[in-house]
């Protein structure tokens, strides 16, 4: 079974970037990445009942880190397919 994670940027400033993330727009959580401290804070879990929140949170964090490493920019939208 393929897994899909949609990510949409909510806000960004010099200190942090915030994304909504989830399997679709009906089931979304929120994650914040503190740029200076290189730390994540899950503000809201996905809770879709199909896949663990930890899996969604890990996929979102990995995708944010990859974006930061690739070119230092955080796109308005991203996705993860596994």
CA atoms within 13 A on the CB side of 70: 9
78 closest CA partner among 35, 31, 36: 31
What pLDDT was estimated at residue 5? 95
Strands (E), the chain: 4-12, 16-24, 27-34, 39-44, 77-81
pTM, 2 dp:
0.94
Q: Is the pLDDT of residue 72 over 90?
A: no
Contact 41, 21 (CB under 8 A): no
Q: What is the pLDDT of residues 8-62, one digit of tens each?
A: 999 999 999 999 999 999 999 999 999 999 999 999 999 998 899 999 999 999 9
What pLDDT was estimated at residue 1? 61
Domain boundaries of the chain, sorted by first residue = 4-81
């Amino acid at each position: 079974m393929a897994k899909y994670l949609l990510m949409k940027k909510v806000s960004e400033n010099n200190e942090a970037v915030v994304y909504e993330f989830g399997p679709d727009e009906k089931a979304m959580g929120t994650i914040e990445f503190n740029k200076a401290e290189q730390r994540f804070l899950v503000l809201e879990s996905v809770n879709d009942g199909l896949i663990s929140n930890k899996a969604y949170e890990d996929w979102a964090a990995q995708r944010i880190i990859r974006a930061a490493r690739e070119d230092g920019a955080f796109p308005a939208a991203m996705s993860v397919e596994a």
